[in-house]
């Protein structure tokens, strides 16, 4: 059966392509922006990629077209599918019908940390010998690809709140019916499809409605927005956790053993279960680790086994990934694209490197960023850096000037990648840390910068 995927280089759709290939489909796909790491992964899987959306790509006629949520009416390929009556579906619907049926689904939802937490859960179950299937919205280290069917009972899926397709405006996670649901956190995001925070809460409560009574919902004890969601009704046992401070109703607790989050202990009903010593940093990473341990426990894996597994966790590409070290300067790539994620990522790096100088390079690329929904929160988000270089991309609908004016640290705006690289090369000294944050390819700036520093 020939499956063609429109928008195949998106992190979700690319992972879907890997699953379809493993199921025996002949998989092809097209995308307007073909860039690593997803394009590299797909090519390694033998999946044919085509740049652009020419209707000629749909000849010979595929048996089914999976349409990514980045596709809209007016797209030439979409119009061809509709005009020719080619069968089509959304990615989440295809996943639910062809992969998730009959599995114990662990769904990882939340504004931040979905990709990393999904990878952590899959990693722990794998180390416990459970051979889980998974779909990760990124490229994990430690696995051959971002998705696989697995051979066991369990399937771990990154459960995104973004909409499913132009013809299905429900959140992706509505399709998954997880038995174990992780709700990591909840803030306003995706201003292009949600009018306000209440609209997102409504979708999260739709997710809560799909979790069976014999399942488990995992939430932090201190997230007021998630607490509000659960007050609308919950028919499933809720497990809560806290970090450092014990909180009533939270049976699980993490205790930091190092300020940078690189070591922590895990307690259940105030009985120590084990310790995690890993390469991850930041309080947000500890949060992700605790919920991964809790989810694994719901699948029958002891907390001590999960702690040992996480101590060997190899991480995820584009999540504080060291791209290279040149002239004594360390260059990182990170996916952060929301003020909270920017702040927690920088704070984690600060705890790790101490007084070393941090240069943050940020591309406000996401749809929400382009619309300016977070612009008032951007300036305080960079407080842990020493110098911030903001990239003003084409299509940004607002002026970064006020962000620079309100910045608590030295900051400036540059409108070309070459100018950013030139500035960094001129400014940095051995021991400096350069953290590049974007949810896109950022014009390959990471490798270009390392090469420029080396030269």
Rounded distance between C-alpha atoms, residue 383 and residue 98, angstroms: 46
Query: Which of the four pLDDT bands, split at 50, 70 and 90, describes residue 34?
Result: confident
Among 6-20, 58-72, 230-244, 353-367, the range scoring the smallest mean pLDDT is: 353-367
Q: Select the CATH number that applies to the domain covering 321-454 from these four: 3.40.50.720, 3.90.190.20, 1.10.580.10, 3.30.450.20.
A: 3.90.190.20
Question: What is the sign, positive or negative, of the torsion defined by CA atoms of 94, 96, 99, 105?
Answer: positive
> What is the average pLDDT across 272-296?
94
Indicate if the pLDDT at residue 439 is higher than 80: no
Q: What percent of the chain has pLDDT over 70?
A: 96
Specify whether the CB–CB gap between 358 and 410 falls below 8 A: no
> What is the average pLDDT across 194-212?
93
What are the tens digits of pLDDT across the range 402-422? 888 888 998 898 888 998 999
| Edge-to-edge strand ranges of the sheet holding 271-277 | 147-148, 133-135, 154-158, 104-109, 180-183, 216-220, 238-243, 252-256, 263-268, 271-277
What are the tens digits of pLDDT across the range 90-136? 999 999 999 999 999 999 999 888 999 999 999 999 999 999 999 99
- Domain map (residue ranges) of the chain: 2-90, 102-310, 321-454
Fold of 102-310: 3.40.1190
Q: Does domain 2-90 have CATH number 3.30.300.20?
A: no
Q: What is the DSSP track for 403-443?
A: HHHH-SSEEEEES-HHHHHHHHHHH--TT-EEEEE-SS-GG
Specify whether the CB–CB gap between 324 and 148 falls below 8 A: no
Is residue 411 packed enough to be buried (19+ CB in 10 Å), middle (13-18) or exposed (0-12)? buried
Q: What is the pLDDT of residue 374?
A: 65
Rounded distance between C-alpha atoms, residue 110 and residue 186, angstroms: 6
The tokens describing 14, both together, are 């690319």
Specify whether the CB–CB gap between 437 and 361 falls below 8 A: yes
């Amino acid at each position: 059966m020939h499956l063609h995927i429109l928008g195949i280089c998106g992190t979700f759709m690319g992972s879907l392509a890997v699953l379809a290939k493993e199921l025996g489909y002949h998989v092809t796909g097209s995308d307007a922006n073909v860039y690593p790491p997803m394009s590299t992964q797909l090519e390694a899987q033998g999946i044919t990629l085509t740049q652009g959306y020419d209707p000629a790509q749909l000849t010979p006629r595929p048996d089914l077209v999976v349409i990514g949520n980045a596709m809209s009416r007016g797209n030439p390929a979409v119009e061809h599918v509709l005009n020719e009556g080619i069968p089509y579906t959304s990615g989440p619907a295809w996943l639910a019908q062809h992969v998730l049926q009959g599995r114990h689904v662990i769904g990882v939802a939340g504004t931040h940390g979905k990709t990393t937490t999904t990878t952590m859960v899959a990693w722990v179950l794998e180390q416990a010998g459970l051979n889980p299937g998974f779909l990760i919205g990124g490229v994990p280290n430690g696995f051959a690809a971002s998705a696989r069917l697995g051979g066991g009972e369990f399937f771990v899926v990154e459960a995104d709140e973004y909409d499913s397709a132009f013809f299905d405006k429900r959140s992706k996670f509505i399709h998954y019916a997880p038995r174990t649901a992780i709700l990591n956190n909840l803030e306003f995001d995706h201003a292009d499809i949600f009018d306000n925070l209440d609209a997102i809460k409504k979708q999260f409560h739709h997710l809560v409605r799909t979790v069976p009574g014999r399942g488990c919902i995992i939430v932090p004890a201190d997230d007021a927005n998630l607490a509000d969601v659960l007050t609308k009704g919950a028919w499933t046992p809720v497990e809560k956790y806290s970090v450092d401070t014990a909180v009533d109703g939270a049976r699980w607790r993490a205790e930091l053993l190092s300020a940078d989050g690189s070591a922590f202990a895990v307690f259940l009903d105030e009985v120590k279960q084990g310790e995690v010593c890993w390469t991850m940093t930041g309080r947000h990473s500890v949060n992700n680790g605790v919920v991964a341990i809790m989810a694994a426990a719901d699948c029958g894996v002891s907390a001590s086994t999960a702690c040992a597994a996480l101590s060997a966790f190899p991480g995820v590409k584009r999540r504080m990934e060291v791209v290279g070290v040149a002239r004594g300067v360390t260059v990182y790539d990170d996916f952060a694209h929301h003020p909270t994620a920017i702040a927690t990522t920088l704070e984690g790096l600060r705890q790790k490197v101490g007084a070393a100088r941090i240069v943050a390079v940020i591309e406000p690329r996401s749809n929400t960023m382009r619309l300016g929904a977070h612009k008032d929160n951007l300036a305080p988000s960079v407080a842990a850096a020493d110098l911030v270089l903001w990239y003003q991309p084409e299509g940004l609908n607002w002026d970064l000037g006020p962000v620079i004016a309100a910045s608590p640290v030295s900051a400036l705006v540059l409108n070309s990648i070459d100018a950013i690289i030139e500035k960094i090369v001129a400014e940095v000294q051995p021991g400096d840390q350069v953290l590049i944050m974007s949810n896109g390819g950022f014009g390959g700036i990471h490798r270009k910068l390392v090469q420029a520093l080396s030269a």
